[in-house]
Amino acid sequence: MRAGQARPRRGLAFVVSSPSGGGKTTVVRALVSRMTGLRRSISVTTRPRRPGERSRVDYRFVSRDAFARLRSHAKLLEWAQVHRAEYGTLREPLLEMLADGTDVILSLDVQGARAVRRRLQDQAVLIFLLPPSLRALQARLVRRRTESPEAIRQRLEAARNELRQLAAYDYAVVNRRVAQAVKDVQAIVTAERVRLRNRTHAHAAIKQFTVQPGRKQA
């Protein structure tokens, strides 16, 4: 790289979390469909595939043995056990997209979000989708018809614990209506893309507009 030449822009990792049933998957898909330069990270999971889900589109569904091999060979940027299933983010595809300047959006639980922040530091932007209330969240889980009453009770208890971690996030968006929640998160992505942080490309952009002492402006 030549002296004074701006380094390529680093991509940002936008992490969207919410309690189970909070709408993060729906919001993330909508954002990817309407924003350029934003790609979705597809998580690896050991949980059973739900009706209508497609491998490598919704998740990468793998066996527990395959997941254990990914962990032991350091192939995962982060991983966590959630509701008796394991979830993880493949390291190389994510880091390659970020290095190419592509912004990536991830749907992760609280554990995964904190792990991404530890590893990516200021490249990670954490966004929490809040349900309007726990009662509203319970109604959404019941309508989904994928969990037993006991499973729903466990997910609501997990939601209470996750909400206590809200201070670790950069933004909180209340998901009353999906369309508005998508607009709110889109505004966050747009703002973060132009935010001046301690990044080399930002400093290079500023430098080219700085008039050196003794020189005349054109």
**H-helix or E-strand containing 78?**
strand 76-82
**H-helix or E-strand containing 113?**
helix 110-120
Maximum Cα–Cα distance for the chain, whole Å?
75
User: Is-contact 125 188, C-beta < 8 A?
Assistant: yes
DSSP 3-25: TTPPPPPPP-EEEEE--TTSSHH
Decide if pLDDT at 6 tops 60.
no
- The residues near 24 (Cβ < 8 Å, ≥ 6 apart) are 16, 17, 18, 107, 129
User: Is-contact 30 96, C-beta < 8 A?
Assistant: no
Q: Which domains can be identified in the chain, with CATH numbers?
A: 13-195 (3.40.50.300)
* pTM > 0.85: no
Query: Which of the residue ranges 13-22, 178-187, 191-200, 207-216 has the most confident prediction, judged by mean pLDDT?
Result: 178-187
For the stretch 95-133, pLDDT in tens is 999 999 999 999 998 989 999 999 999 999 999 998 888
Query: What is the token pair recorded at 50?
Result: 């739900």
